[in-house]
Structure 1
Amino acid sequence: MHFTILAAILQVAVGVYATALFDKNLAYHSPFVDNPQISHDTRSIQRRNVKRQTQDATKFDDEHYPGFYGSDFSNSPFVWSGGLNFTHSVASGDPFDTSVILWTRAVPTSPDGTSELPDQSVPACLSFAVSTAADLSGKPIAHGQAFTSYDVDWTVKVEATGLRPDTKYFYQFSDCTNPKTISPIGTTRTIASANTPAKNVNGGKPLVMAVFSCSQYQAGWFNAYGFAAHNTTADIFVHLGDYIYESLGNGAHIGRAVLGRELATIFDYRQRLNQYRTDASLVYAHQHAPWITVWVRVGTWMIMRFGLLINPPEVYTVNSALLQVADNAWKAGTADSNDTATGCKWSPSGACFTDRKMAAVRAYHEWMPIRQVDARDQLRIWRNFQIGKLLDLTMLDTRQYDRDLTDVYYNTVVNTIAAFENRSLMGAAQEKWFYDTVSQSKDRGAVWRVVGQQIVFTQLNESGAFDLDAWDGYRANRARVLDHLYKNKISNTVILSGDSHANWVSDLAHPNDTTTYNPTTGAGAIGVEFAGTAVTSSSSFGSGIQPPAADAVSRVLVDANADLQWSEGSFRGFFTLSIDTHNLNATYYAMRNISFANLDGFASANFVVKSGENKLSRPVAGGTVNAGVLRSQT
């Protein structure tokens, strides 16, 4: 009788603790903090995995009982002990001052070395440890355990807490049942606490961010990620969108054939993320710095450009970066998958936009080292990072959240309504939040306001054509942003943009308002925009366009747009921001060849913004660049 009672108590206690280890893995949680009902039922998963906790343990030589801390897992049938394979190394992201998200993927392996899959109903247990020592020697600063299972594609995402602000850390995962089975060691960091004096952030050294967008697997190798991780001193990687694409395309000739089909189900999105994360440069970049990401979609940036058909939708139908959904997304649909009264017959995949979006968000939540977001029924991901009093990094969602109708190729009405006062790119709630955030940043004494968002902000008049899927399709919303900065005298604002597959650097001013803005001196500007090219996605100037031809296009553009100071459209790459209390330096990097894996690149241009000047320092880029066209070049 007493044994039965004790066994029952142990079963309950172990069940509670095991469930807690499932809950430690944030991948089981709902992607949205305010919608917990769509999380995995970890109690049900635990009940599924409990097999023989109440069995007589006398046959076990190690006097085993199903505990966790300090216990031997080798005979626990409800925790996999046949070996684990860390298939995609490690990653980290969304650093706060005292915590950071850590990620890995650990797939059970067959103990006999055969290809037969292990028991999929049994979870795996992962331990993690965080240290300031590169070899993780000594007592860990933070540690813990978590379960994973096929329910979340064997991903593990935990929050390492109790860390010191503004500190570099090293971390590693291991198999709870065999501590000798370990992941690679990852490098991450926390950010400075909000009240840290600007001059003390990052130990007084400039804080460096590497900024990326638009990585299409079939278009080339992700060399830009590896170059940044190996050849720059980037502390944080910022990704502005199109981390994956939902399309197929033809990359077989360079060894980049895409698996599966156009993405629609959670299996599809998981498979695509899995394949992208096998690129060696991307793996290395995730392993060596924390990432801050926002979702978007790139796609057919401009159908007709300079009389040439560029990026036709059947070739470059793409997906929402970091939210992998579909081409030219807005709040109720995309270019080829809309929620309509007639159902989803227009979708090539046969899936409604809402269904695809939820599958994409679930897979994204599993595979990316990002914290939960606040859905508010519209997938909120916009958020702010206060990095001491040096800067606020404000990440916007200019693709999904309550975005009014965009250009989806067949709705030419957008061209006639682009300037309507009631059109919003961000939605009223996000727009108000953004104005409040930059105002509060000024009030709290932050030196810089860096705004990460997905699409080109500055007006780009391209021989009378405008990209209606960028801010040019939401002109009143852009005017409201500029008005808020001007009227409230909010200085040192730097907007970061992706999506266009080309490089653009501009002073921020009302479009072509040369009465108050002087394009030669920069007087009258209220900030700067740095827009970066793609990691691999084809140039919006023309697929495979060479520098001389791209420069000819750039010369037309800089001559036609008063705010635009530099344009470059041939090279794939990224840029870095080096930020201190007095200067913000932007260095653009170009990859020479993305048809095979390499780290061959060069700095194509460097720009300086001095605190308080709200413009690019003159002469722009020092008067000379290694690629592209300056408005005024010596």
Structure 2
Amino acid sequence: MAEQTFDSGMNTRRDFVSAWSRAAALCALAPLPFGQFGPGARAGGDRIVTRSGRSVSADRFPFGLGVASGEPAADGVVLWTRLLDLPGDPGDALPVRWEIAADDAFRTVVRRGEAAALAQLGHSVHVEAAGLEPERDYWYRFHAAGATSQVGRTRTAPARGVLPGRFDFVFVSCQHYERGWYTGYRHMAAESPALIVHLGDYIYEDGPGDRPDLVRRHDTAEPRTLDEYRARYALYKRDPDLQAAHAASPWVFTPDDHEVDNDWAGENNTEGLTLRQFLQRRAAAFQAMYEHLPLHTTSMPTGPDARLYRRLDFGSLMRLHVLDTRQYRTLQPCGGRRAVPCAGQHAEGATILGSEQADWLLDGLDRSPARYNVLANQVFMARLLEGEEELTLPMDKWDGYPADRDRLMTFLHDRRPANPVVLTGDLHTNWVNDLKLDFERADSPTVGTEFAGTSISSSGDGADTGPQGENALGHNPHIKFFNAQRGYVRCTLSPARLRADFRVMPYVTRPDAPIATRASYVVENGIPGAQET
């Protein structure tokens, strides 16, 4: 959507959302058949006819950002692409054909259709394909402007009530473009997991840097507007290894902070912007995020708001509870970042989830029929005391919001939903944590497990261990493992256990790093906590 112009007197959140809603209503969100682009509209050969009736030459490849799929269900999946480098009127809506096949040569096409790439949505396409068979591979592609896209592979979820013998997935986060190569994604694509879960920091909002430790550079300014956020996503998505991972498996994505701005919290920002200015920025960031990822239209933002917490079922083996720990949280207490514990942590109403999302999570856990309940969570959930003479806690994590964590831990202890496992990103390091009913007592019951995964590239090469890990292990008996190399976590789920393999690389400041499994931990069915294998 083109950047909006707002009345100078519009300072309240209600004014902003109302104005954005009126603007968004002008966009048609449903796929359009070719016939609705005007009399005689058609596509084919090396030219394309748009809604305005203009015939444009297709002399550029429009699929430079690749293809992706996401949000897998037992009978369908979301297919994504975004058209770039299109000649003609940039305001035109462009017809796009899509196909899904049972084989990678497209000899057996099982679904096909047409969609509209709308200028108001950056010429992105989100096809919610249905009518597929459960728990099987499919291949898909798009056609537009006389060109055919790359081929992507996707996979549907197991059917409801089915307990599959095995389900493989990967979780990953934090891919700072300037800090390293995305070799981990190439390795991930080669493993072809049934699902990739991304826990945020898909982009970083930094401006162009001149630090000597930067590996890759760009000249795009720190984004504030929709066009600037679009440019940042396009920069990242042109990376061939990232494109390969998107084309290899369906994704489930949830953002953290850098998709908007570092350490933002609800309606609070770290750059001194007014409420109106920050809501404008958040609206632009959320729309660009939607335009570049395979999200359902149910996650499409309305101004600065987007419904991003959701759950997905994978037969009766796994229920994936996808959390949003940014949009509904209150301001970080105690000055934010690492700080000595203070009364602000326990202020009335302090929350990281918001009351509605917290109720939704507990209800979904309580009603879950799944053998494993997996939480896709952005920031560290276990207690993380660090320090020498003075011990501090990270107030941007769940440590800053103990009431929400205590409520969840108490629920896990009292209601005992099956095998709760939390997946976490953000810290650019690998951790394995027991989740405790009371983190102040080492002998407190273990109620679940947290696997925190490292980054793809953020923080550079890293090391096997270091002072942070040694310090944290010394102060937190519930922490079982620490590693500070780059990579991702590969999970193998069966009815009997969940196995997590911490896949790491020796460097990312040069391309083509090898990958190896640094450690493996399992959560056995019915036994809270993880054990090293």
**TM-score scaled to structure 1, two decimals?**
0.73
1:607 aligned partner, one-letter code: Y
Quickly say closer, same or farther: Cα 1:551–1:405, change in 2 above 3 A.
closer
Does structure 1 residue 336 correspond to structure 2 residue 271? yes
2:98 aligned partner, one-letter code: F
Of 189, 194, 198, 1:239 maps to 198
CA contact (8 A) 2:341 2:393 kept: no
Gaps of 5+ in 1: 1-31, 54-64, 110-116, 298-318, 344-351, 518-523, 623-634
TM-superposed deviation, 1:419: 3.1
Residues 281-300 of structure 1: pairs in structure 2 closer than 5 A: 281-297=241-257
TM-superposed deviation, 1:193: 2.6
Kindly indicate which of the two structures has a greater share of residues assigned to strand: 2
Quickly say closer, same or farther: Cα 1:252–1:236, change in 2 above 3 A.
farther
SS in 2 for 1:87: coil
Q: Which deviates the most, 328-337 or 65-74? A: 65-74
Report the Cα distance in structure 1 between the residues aligned to 2:346 and 2:49, rounded to whole angstroms: 68
| Residue 66 of structure 2: aligned partner | 89
1:39 aligned partner, one-letter code: A
Quickly say closer, same or farther: Cα 1:97–1:407, change in 2 above 3 A.
farther
Residues 567-606 of structure 1: pairs in structure 2 closer than 5 A: 567-569=482-484, 571-606=485-520
Report the Cα distance in structure 2 between the residues aligned to 1:215 and 1:71, rounded to whole angstroms: 38
2:381 aligned partner, one-letter code: F
CA contact (8 A) 1:166 1:190 kept: yes
Of 5, 21, 24, 1:39 maps to 24
CA contact (8 A) 2:345 2:400 kept: yes
| Residue 480 of structure 2: aligned partner | 565
CA contact (8 A) 1:266 1:363 kept: yes
CA contact (8 A) 2:442 2:478 kept: no
1:134 aligned partner, one-letter code: D
SS in 1 for 2:161: coil
Residues 202-221 of structure 1: pairs in structure 2 closer than 5 A: 204=165, 206-221=166-181
SS in 1 for 2:410: helix
TM-superposed deviation, 1:409: 5.0
CA contact (8 A) 1:166 1:189 kept: yes
Sequence identity percentage: 26
| Residue 629 of structure 1: aligned partner | none
Report the Cα distance in structure 2 between the residues aligned to 1:478 and 1:281, rounded to whole angstroms: 36
Report the Cα distance in structure 2 between the residues aligned to 1:435 and 1:544, rounded to whole angstroms: 38
TM-superposed deviation, 1:105: 2.2
Does structure 1 residue 503 correspond to structure 2 residue 430? yes
Residues 72-111 of structure 1: pairs in structure 2 closer than 5 A: 78=53, 80-83=55-58, 84-85=60-61, 86-107=63-84, 109=86
Residues 251-270 of structure 1: pairs in structure 2 closer than 5 A: 256-270=216-230
Does structure 1 residue 457 correspond to structure 2 residue 381? yes
Report the Cα distance in structure 1 between the residues aligned to 2:28 and 2:345, rounded to whole angstroms: 50
Report the Cα distance in structure 2 between the residues aligned to 1:71 and 1:221, rounded to whole angstroms: 38
Does structure 1 residue 157 correspond to structure 2 residue 135? no
CA contact (8 A) 2:100 2:139 kept: yes
Report the Cα distance in structure 1 between the residues aligned to 2:405 and 2:337, rounded to whole angstroms: 24
CA contact (8 A) 1:420 1:476 kept: no
TM-superposed deviation, 1:413: 10
Of 607, 620, 625, 2:521 maps to 607
Q: Which deviates the most, 124-133 or 429-438? A: 124-133
Deviations for 1:270-325, whole angstroms, at most 9, x for unmatched residues?
Answer: 0000000011110100111111000112xxxxxxxxxxxxxxxxxxxxx1xxxx21
SS in 2 for 1:274: helix
Quickly say closer, same or farther: Cα 1:50–1:371, change in 2 above 3 A.
closer
SS in 1 for 2:81: strand
Does structure 1 residue 356 correspond to structure 2 residue 281? yes
Quickly say closer, same or farther: Cα 1:414–1:260, change in 2 above 3 A.
farther
| Residue 194 of structure 1: aligned partner | 160
CA contact (8 A) 1:129 1:172 kept: yes
Report the Cα distance in structure 1 between the residues aligned to 2:96 and 2:251, rounded to whole angstroms: 22
Report the Cα distance in structure 2 between the residues aligned to 1:74 and 1:355, rounded to whole angstroms: 35
Deviations for 1:225-252, whole angstroms, at most 9, x for unmatched residues?
Answer: 111111x241111001100011123478
| Residue 346 of structure 1: aligned partner | none
Quickly say closer, same or farther: Cα 1:149–1:79, change in 2 above 3 A.
farther
1:455 aligned partner, one-letter code: V
TM-superposed deviation, 1:103: 1.1
TM-superposed deviation, 1:489: 2.1
Quickly say closer, same or farther: Cα 1:280–1:381, change in 2 above 3 A.
same
2:471 aligned partner, one-letter code: V
Does structure 1 residue 486 correspond to structure 2 residue 410? no
Report the Cα distance in structure 1 between the residues aligned to 2:425 and 2:37, rounded to whole angstroms: 54
Q: Which deviates the most, 463-472 or 147-156? A: 147-156
Quickly say closer, same or farther: Cα 1:402–1:78, change in 2 above 3 A.
farther
TM-superposed deviation, 1:403: 3.7
Quickly say closer, same or farther: Cα 1:449–1:557, change in 2 above 3 A.
same
Report the Cα distance in structure 2 between the residues aligned to 1:580 and 1:611, rounded to whole angstroms: 9
Does structure 1 residue 392 correspond to structure 2 residue 392? no
Q: Which deviates the most, 504-513 or 97-106? A: 504-513
CA contact (8 A) 2:43 2:49 kept: no
Aligned residue pairs, count: 503
Report the Cα distance in structure 2 between the residues aligned to 1:531 and 1:219, rounded to whole angstroms: 20
Gaps of 5+ in 2: 1-16
Does structure 1 residue 529 correspond to structure 2 residue 503? no
Structure number with the bigger relative contact order (C-alpha 8 A, sep ≥ 6) is 2
Report the Cα distance in structure 1 between the residues aligned to 2:314 and 2:264, rounded to whole angstroms: 31
CA contact (8 A) 2:332 2:395 kept: no
Quickly say closer, same or farther: Cα 1:415–1:163, change in 2 above 3 A.
same
Q: Which deviates the most, 366-375 or 185-194? A: 366-375
Of 288, 294, 302, 1:369 maps to 294
SS in 2 for 1:270: helix
CA contact (8 A) 1:50 1:78 kept: no
1:236 aligned partner, one-letter code: L
Deviations for 1:168-196, whole angstroms, at most 9, x for unmatched residues?
Answer: 11001112x64xx2111100111123222
Report the Cα distance in structure 2 between the residues aligned to 1:257 and 1:327, rounded to whole angstroms: 19
CA contact (8 A) 2:424 2:451 kept: yes
Quickly say closer, same or farther: Cα 1:337–1:602, change in 2 above 3 A.
farther
TM-superposed deviation, 1:363: 0.9
RMSD: 3.1
CA contact (8 A) 1:333 1:339 kept: no
Does structure 1 residue 418 correspond to structure 2 residue 345? yes
1:573 aligned partner, one-letter code: G
SS in 2 for 1:472: helix
CA contact (8 A) 1:331 1:403 kept: yes
